[in-house]
């Protein structure tokens, strides 16, 4: 089997996990990663002899402006330049800081290489604003795809799940958003909640991906780091009432949704992070969103529920879906998402219950 050759630009919070995700795909080959400075992430990788997930060697390439001497001083091996990496791949996964990906696109276009951008870039960087479950087929054969943000990715998973099962007319969301990733200091120390103007971009992005649904939402920043919590009120199409039992059955069948209860110990966002670590998941990551069965309630014809979004890892499966769509590895969402789920072992816990 010929493997799709993949490179990763930016080895930060998302880039590390993208590299891991590619290394776990049996039909993909991680050619290398690219970065600017010898960060702690790269220092840790060097201490592990440049070996990442699945025993794969992560070869490092330097972007323009990087100082080779800084890497040499820390004994971090360098395989070549960013353009060397781009010339060696079928597709690049760009997780560079916001705005840098758009600049990198000029390189991708000049070298004729496809690319997938993360949620921090503006939508116009890509041909398609992409989600593996909601609009997989729109990404087929496209040169440039852009992923939704972590919150939007998890939100769309749950809304798409209900929409395909019952038909959804509109949703109203409230996002309780973590303020920074673990280890980030740039936002400082805080003891406050911060409001954003409504509607939040996640609601607008959902409507871009799923234009048949009306969405609005409010977002509150919270001084925590492990995960977002989103509450959703969903209205069925044409007055269709969705019962609690129907919603739970649909959620429970979805591979990328983990239905949990408070009584089982899932008291909040930190519970998921601890559980992922106890499972032995690399970096304490969880690819599934968590959904509290206790939160699923009926309000007239509407259905309300709450989800937990592990912001560092939730977009990784959808990015693997994007590779599959852009390279036409699988022609349908069912086949593409199933392949990603199989290699990332997503949903395996459902078979163990």
Annotated catalytic sites, by residue? 150
CB 175 within 8 A of CB 219: yes
CB 321 within 8 A of CB 4: no
Q: Is 100 exposed, middle or buried (0-12, 13-18, 19+ CB in 10 A)?
A: middle
Residue with tokens 């699923």: 296
Q: Give helix then strand counts, H and E, for the chain.
A: 12, 16
Show the CA angle centred on residue 309, arms to residues 182 and 51, nearest 5°: 55
Between helix 150-166 and helix 244-253 the angle, nearest 10°, is 120
Alpha-carbon distances, residue 137 vs 22, 205, 331, 334, 336 (angstroms) = 21, 18, 7, 10, 10
The answer for residues whose C-beta is within 8 angstroms of residue 185's C-beta and 6 or more apart is none
Q: Is 174 exposed, middle or buried (0-12, 13-18, 19+ CB in 10 A)?
A: middle
Full DSSP string of 326-353? HTTSSSSHHHHHHHHHHHHTTTHHHHH-
Cα separation, 173 vs 301, whole angstroms: 17
CB 228 within 8 A of CB 311: yes
């Amino acid at each position: 089997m010929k493997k799709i050759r993949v490179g990763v630009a930016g080895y930060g919070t998302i880039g590390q996990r993208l590299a891991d995700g590619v290394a776990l795909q049996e039909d993909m080959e991680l050619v290398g990663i690219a970065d600017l400075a010898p960060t702690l992430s790269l220092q840790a990788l060097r201490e592990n002899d440049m070996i990442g997930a699945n025993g794969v060697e992560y070869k490092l390439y330097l972007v323009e402006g990087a100082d080779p001497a800084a890497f040499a001083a820390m004994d971090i091996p360098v395989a070549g330049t960013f353009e060397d990496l781009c010339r060696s791949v079928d597709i690049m996964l760009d997780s560079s800081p916001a705005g840098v990906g758009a600049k990198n696109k000029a390189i991708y276009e000049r070298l004729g290489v496809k690319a997938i951008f993360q949620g921090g870039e503006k939508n116009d960087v890509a041909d398609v604003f992409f989600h593996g479950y909601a609009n997989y087929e729109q990404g087929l054969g496209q040169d440039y795809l852009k992923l939704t943000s972590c919150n939007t990715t998890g939100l769309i998973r749950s809304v798409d799940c209900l929409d395909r099962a019952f038909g959804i007319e509109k949703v109203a969301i409230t996002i309780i958003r973590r303020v920074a990733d673990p280890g980030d200091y740039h936002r400082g120390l805080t003891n406050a909640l911060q409001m954003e103007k409504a509607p939040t971009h996640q609601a607008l992005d959902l409507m871009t991906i799923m234009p048949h649904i009306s969405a609005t939402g409010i977002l509150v920043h919270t001084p925590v780091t492990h995960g977002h919590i989103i509450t959703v009120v969903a209205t069925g199409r044409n007055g269709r009432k969705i019962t609690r039992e129907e919603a739970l059955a649909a959620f429970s069948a979805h591979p990328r949704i983990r239905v949990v209860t408070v009584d089982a110990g899932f008291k909040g966002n930190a519970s998921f992070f601890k559980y992922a670590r106890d499972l032995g998941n690399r970096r304490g990551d969880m690819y599934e969103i968590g959904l509290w069965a206790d939160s699923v309630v009926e309000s007239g014809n509407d259905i309300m529920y709450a989800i937990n979004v592990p912001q560092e890892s939730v977009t990784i499966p959808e990015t693997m879906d994007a590779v599959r769509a852009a390279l036409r590895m699988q022609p349908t969402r069912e086949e593409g998402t199933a392949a990603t789920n199989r290699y990332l072992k997503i949903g395996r816990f459902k078979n163990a219950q």
